[in-house]
Structure 1
């Protein structure tokens, strides 16, 4: 029955996608997110381990984390986005509360590269929407902390300053996820921080562009460098199927990251690269445009999807559609993003009554056996970010407009 059900859903999606006039009701989808976020707020414990991270397949209970977890910034970021989309002050109040829990991260020694995920998704969105000067100071401090992980001999930020399997510690490792954290540095350099932060971000992006990709523009997950000479030692995976496979979320970080780098620098090399890493991702997607967790898993189609990668890419495509100089590509990117969001907003992928997350069917770390076919907080974050961006475009606004103002 499952096979027939999947074939039926695929046929429906193909029918929808063949109609270029299909348009997602973004207001309805954002309202759905608000309902789900409100449900989650009612489930949160009173202790310090109170930030939602994931709900395992078939369960209703969130696994909660503390502020040091790399995912800690996504929940306050979700709340800021829900506030932006609904103008409901209760979400602003809760976003502020959960953001402030992360403040110590800006003042302690960096223990990994994820300060952008943690503090820019939280305080960055908060400052964008409120212009609270306290938030700005925390963001600037966080950028300075992240910059301490930069190795000028290599040209990139160290991802894991501790022993991690297959990373040949104490050599220098960099993972593709780190492209997203560069936005924190770019922002800080333009808002009172050192010009050096901008230079670090550009160096990291260019070095990654040179060493992190195969000739077909698919991304490795991790690259290990000699910390003294800067020479590339090897390229491997930590969360993908194999060292030479295209891990879906890794490629999504590249798409999002290089689109953002072009926005911040206007360097055409970054735009060209963003389009190349995007086009290779788009060409082998399933009919509903939600990727399998790894494009090269030989067990496809009997493997988990990754809705989180789809959310990241949908959001990135909407931005890229406004940045590309190629009008034909702009139309394709916008249409693909809308189609991805139509799929994510369907009963196949929304959590609805199954749990209080926004989405089902994300995959965190399959080789480690964790968060497989689960609801994961960063999927929700990029889903609502993409919905807000699409709503702005539907209204004829820039994606950088603040809807709450």
Structure 2
């Protein structure tokens, strides 16, 4: 089943290389991807899909397309295009760092280190956190962290390993610890966002930007936490990070609906109109496969988490994948970008496509993605 699903993504990616040209897919409308000239936070995921496809097949069509995206990311960094946010890890881990991992291209390595320095500019020494969005001192966002950042921290861990500069790792660990303390709640659910006083770092309140309400659990946020804490464990070997990832994964899988693909928020009222988020299921699956690499064979959580991944991925392949629709641009249907904001609430998500393919390749070939070497 996994191999057939992978082959389907490869067929679609070949067609998308022709469709997209030098542009980058973001989210869809009426099953057509919105394209941009590399100015969205999501553009690394298209690059990641191309690198994964090349790694799996060895085909030059994927390699050359992926290399062109890295050239675009170099230009984006040089011109400082839409980099006023913390998603630098999403952008450069899956583009230039992927190229470094696969091809040992020194220019790609240097570009990735430069990107890590851009992310470090988000560090706020007074508050001791990485600011998610907006300029320093911004009234609305100056004191805000969000759980998505857990997937951006691997860029800093990697930069430390490459350079020996302790500051990269120190900042990543402080932010991970803060996220664990304030974004992960006592019942293993999560806030999407948390606010701190910009001057003192005093914790103020938890909230949401894309979830159902401030106290609810946005499923994609929970998935970011699962994968992000698992990766922080890989880099630091702090057992608290692995424990947190496991607890968040159990919370996620304990709440799977009948078809095993989650709704957009675990607390949203469920009826015939409730939106799904297939991308959350894909992220959680890839993240849990990372967790399983670190659990002992006799760990009490292993069987449960393995079953959760199998259920989620089988649900995606059988009920949400566009297998049998050769003209489809996306790999999995019914992702949601911002249900509350009315932005692509039931569409293709390029990050959903990326994590779906990464999870398939982990299952079929043991590939790891490009979050670490």
Would you say same fold, with TM above 0.5?
Answer: yes
1:390 counterpart (363, 366, 370) = 363
* Structure 2, unpaired ranges of 5+: none
Once structures 1 and 2 are overlaid, which stretch shifts more, 168-177 or 224-233? 168-177
Question: Which residue pairs with 1:3 in the alignment?
Answer: none
- Conserved 8 A contact 1:60-1:354: no
Question: Which residue pairs with 2:123 in the alignment?
Answer: 150
Counterpart CA distance in 1 for 2:183 and 2:78 is 31
- Conserved 8 A contact 2:86-2:132: yes
Question: Which residue pairs with 1:253 in the alignment?
Answer: 224
* Secondary structure, counterpart of 1:54 in structure 2: strand
Asked if 1:228 corresponds to 2:204, the answer is no
Asked if 1:330 corresponds to 2:306, the answer is no
Alignment of 1:183-194 (within 5 A): 183-192=154-163, 194=165
Per-residue CA distance 1:241-266 (angstroms, 9 max, x = gap): 10001101000000010001101110
Larger Rg belongs to: 1
Alignment CA distance shift 1:75-1:272 (3 Å): same
RMSD: 2.1
- Conserved 8 A contact 1:321-1:329: no
- Conserved 8 A contact 1:40-1:357: no
- Conserved 8 A contact 1:31-1:86: no
Counterpart CA distance in 2 for 1:192 and 1:160 is 27
Per-residue CA distance 1:157-214 (angstroms, 9 max, x = gap): 10012499xx843632111111100010011110125221011111100011111122
Per-residue CA distance 1:11-59 (angstroms, 9 max, x = gap): xxxxxxxxxxxxxx3222211111011111121256xxx1111222xx2
Question: Which residue pairs with 2:346 in the alignment?
Answer: 373
Counterpart CA distance in 2 for 1:208 and 1:240 is 17
- Conserved 8 A contact 2:358-2:369: no
- Conserved 8 A contact 2:84-2:133: yes
Per-residue CA distance 1:97-149 (angstroms, 9 max, x = gap): 01221113444664110100111111122211111111100111100110111
* Secondary structure, counterpart of 1:253 in structure 2: helix
- Conserved 8 A contact 2:336-2:346: yes
Normalised TM-score (structure 2): 0.93
Per-residue CA distance 1:48-93 (angstroms, 9 max, x = gap): xx1111222xx24221012221011111111001111222111010
Counterpart CA distance in 1 for 2:360 and 2:157 is 24
Alignment CA distance shift 1:219-1:401 (3 Å): closer
Counterpart CA distance in 2 for 1:280 and 1:185 is 28
- Conserved 8 A contact 2:189-2:217: yes
Alignment CA distance shift 1:43-1:401 (3 Å): closer
1:93 counterpart (64, 67, 70) = 64
Alignment CA distance shift 1:259-1:391 (3 Å): same
Normalised TM-score (structure 1): 0.86
* Secondary structure, counterpart of 2:300 in structure 1: helix
Question: Which residue pairs with 1:358 in the alignment?
Answer: 331
- Conserved 8 A contact 2:136-2:142: no
Counterpart CA distance in 1 for 2:102 and 2:263 is 35
Provide the aligned length of Structure 1 versus Structure 2: 366
Question: Which residue pairs with 1:112 in the alignment?
Answer: 85
Alignment CA distance shift 1:45-1:321 (3 Å): closer
Query: Post-superposition shift, 1:334?
Result: 2.2
Query: Post-superposition shift, 1:225?
Result: 0.8
Question: Which residue pairs with 1:52 in the alignment?
Answer: 25
- Conserved 8 A contact 2:122-2:131: yes
Query: Post-superposition shift, 1:154?
Result: 2.2
- Conserved 8 A contact 1:66-1:72: no
1:278 counterpart (219, 224, 249) = 249
Query: Post-superposition shift, 1:235?
Result: 1.1
